[in-house]
Structure 1
């Protein structure tokens, strides 16, 4: 399947999954926990993922990697695959907050080649294939700021209680060294905002799950931005950390993230 067809399929699947989630948004849903008491899930996550997977599987035999149910959680080392997050920002979703997405990405050998991130509660849709990133059909690019002291930066990588020291240290570093800090509770939303220029950067020292990150990484790159690991090397789904930016002061952001990661190891 060529990239154009994969972009089209990712878009249709994300729209359909987003519609399922949207129908249940702000309704009375039973909430359960997964890894810890703030790791929430509901029947809406599973229903949205089922819809996404059904559409993908109807037109592609590539494996699907996802967060919910029995889908694999690890990307294959080679070949094509799909990466799905039916509701990224579940805690926001369950609180009635509009910042959540349904995200679908296509990858080849672990490299994203197409992505769709839809935000049904906000009527926004971010798409990227091989010809740039579009928001609601209009071409968008990363911001053009070049002074990190003016950057609005999202700090990503929230974890369970008792495992947030690195997050707190990274937040402090961003507050001290950058223009402003943001936290949205949805990694895919934050990455989409970097792609469209609303944010200048997004950082985590943790290794994000592929369903939280792959689609957004592709959006940013196709919008002219840069995404690396903590060593400043091109980001891959198995990379440690993620530093995404408009590229103008990327080395400075990598330095901040690397300093925080080193301090956490001491």
Structure 2
């Protein structure tokens, strides 16, 4: 039996993420209008909004009174410290989506009293579904675990989240730290997929020094932890939805990843 069959919130998270991703996929590689939100690279489409509405519809069928934190429209933008909450990103990786690049996902996490209890990331253009619940993390139904590499010079590490144009010196510094300390660097342009790859062994780590949004991170952080990895803030304390910075690893050489993230002016 899969986690989604045995845990009701995980089952709903998966169902909602799949439903939202199907709506989003209808607009992928289509001639869809793109709107600018707060900056030249902060974009949104009607597919984002429609997918979020569909995700919420599915959640409300089972949990009509739970709070919802969502990237689009008028949903909450911060995670309440108490109670049951759903965190949604209808299309994480919208810049990829509008460029017809398949690196995007629909993300849904269930949180209780500030801590995740279930998560689903569905990436229809890649054919991948990531699920995490009390019994671990799965990709496409198969149990997943973080990489077992221990030597930092064999690690592939991703700079993740986004540094705006007034913080490009920090972006450059993070990239420099990665290429000087580790074997190679990846940047996917989709934080949830990046974290999912750490959870499933495709990357050994991911780092940022910025304060990330909960919809970009909570599901993927839970997946990493349930797959045996470690996620902290810049002080090395367990990462939370309101933490500054994010340092994710397979649990090996985490201090080296912390040092890279901290060594940013």
Tell me the TM-score normalized by structure 2.
0.96
User: Which of 55, 60, 82 is the matching residue for 2:58?
Assistant: 55
Q: Secondary structure of the equivalent of 1:247?
A: coil
How far, CA to CA, are the matches of 1:159 and 1:174 in structure 2? 16
Q: Quick check: 1:65 aligned with 2:69?
A: yes
What is the CA distance between 1:251 and its match in structure 2? 1.2
**For residues 92-132 of structure 1, what are the alpha-carbon distances to aligned partners after superposition, in whole Å with 9 as ceiling and x for unaligned?**
00000000000000111111111000100011000011001
Residues in 2 aligned to 1:79 and 1:250: alpha-carbon distance in whole angstroms: 32
> 1:187-207: CA deviations, max 9, x gaps?
001000000000110000011
| CA shift for structure 1 position 31 | 0.5
- What CA distance in whole angstroms lies between the structure 2 residues aligned with 1:27 and 1:115? 28
Q: State the Cα distance separating 1:159 from its structure 2 match.
A: 2.6
- Structure 2 SS opposite 1:51: helix
1:245 paired with 2:263, answer no
Answering whether residue 260 of structure 2 is matched by residue 256 of structure 1, we say yes
**How far apart are the structure 1 equivalents of 2:120 and 2:195?**
12
Q: Which residue in 1 is equivalent to 2:14?
A: 11
Q: Is the 8 A contact 2:97 2:104 kept in 1?
A: yes
TM-score (norm 1): 0.96
**Structure 1 runs of 4+ with >6 Å offset:** none
Within 5 Å, give how 1:71-220 maps onto structure 2.
Answer: 71-220=75-224
Residue deviations 1:14-51, cap 9 Å, x none? 00000000111110111001110111110000000000
- Residues 220-229 or 155-164, more deviating: 155-164
* SS of residue in 2 equivalent to 1:158: coil
Q: State the Cα distance separating 1:160 from its structure 2 match.
A: 2.3
**What is the rounded CA distance, in whole Å, between the counterparts of 1:109 and 1:207 in structure 2?**
20
Q: Deviations over 1:200-248 (max 9, x none)?
A: 1000001110000000001101100000001111000111100001001
Structure 1 contact 157–167 (Cα < 8 Å) conserved: no
Question: Gaps spanning 5+ residues in structure 2: where?
Answer: 1-5
Query: Aligned residues, how many?
Result: 259
